[in-house]
Structure 1
């Protein structure tokens, strides 16, 4: 079953169970996925990597909101955003370990032939494609900068 269909099934189930937080988060996610499809002028169901990209984007939005809510001392809204993040994370693939991530970045460096930080963009692109949504871009960037920095600029 595709990830998009799984999300639809989970949405139906949460509505049957009258789980308001889960239903709200899944409705928002389904809407964001469909909107991303409209932007790309896609017809049919989205692919799993497309869905994972939308989920990651939605999680980042909520993390940004949490920061703002905390600075505004709105703990009720912080809890709501954290609950939604928890629901969204259920649909992400298992994240890569730091060791796996370093191997992946080393392979991307080897693949692109990068020798310094000036080629960071090419390494990032290759590494993000290899990660397939299983790693945060920030983590990949940190490892790539460290590895490229140790190679000399």
Structure 2
């Protein structure tokens, strides 16, 4: 379970006195606990591994945006800190597909479902999400699929 992997990594970071890793893993745990609380108010027990992966992907995107803003503002030390946190968070995510792999996956999905126009965009994206959970940046994938269907 992903939650256990994060907690085990936190224990190792505490033992190794890796302050950046400890802080990042504690942020992840806090975000997961917030989601757990929200799920309980909605009638669920706790969040699933898939929901945790979505949360981690969101955290990576936020940090990428922050790193870009910091770099543009000349705050290289803060940009580097954000990049370090990204690397720590990505340890818990599946390997991301490269641009070429994303393009091939999109082509395969378009062929498999017989998509012909932009009306089939939703079907294509749903199939990609089903086949490649957490492995594709779906924002980029939607751009590729849209180009193929246009």
Q: Same fold per TM (> 0.5)? A: yes
TM-score (norm 1): 0.83
Q: Does 1:118 align with 2:110?
A: no
Q: Which residue is 1:88 aligned to? A: 89
Q: Give structure 1 stretches of 5+ with no counterpart.
A: none
Matches within 5 A, 1:4-153: 4-41=3-40, 42-44=44-46, 46-110=47-111, 113-149=114-150
Question: Where do 4+ consecutive residues of structure 1 move more than 6 Å?
Answer: none
In 2 relative to 1, CA 37–129 (structure 1 residues): closer, same or farther, beyond 3 Å?
farther
1:61 & 1:75 partners in 2: Cα distance? 17
Aligned residue pairs, count: 147
1:11 & 1:72 partners in 2: Cα distance? 32
Partner of 1:40, secondary structure, is helix
TM-score (norm 2): 0.85
The CA RMSD measured in Å over matched residues stands at 2.0
In 2 relative to 1, CA 97–70 (structure 1 residues): closer, same or farther, beyond 3 Å?
closer
2:89 & 2:26 partners in 1: Cα distance? 11
Deviation at 1:21, TM superposition (A): 0.3
2:112 & 2:33 partners in 1: Cα distance? 34
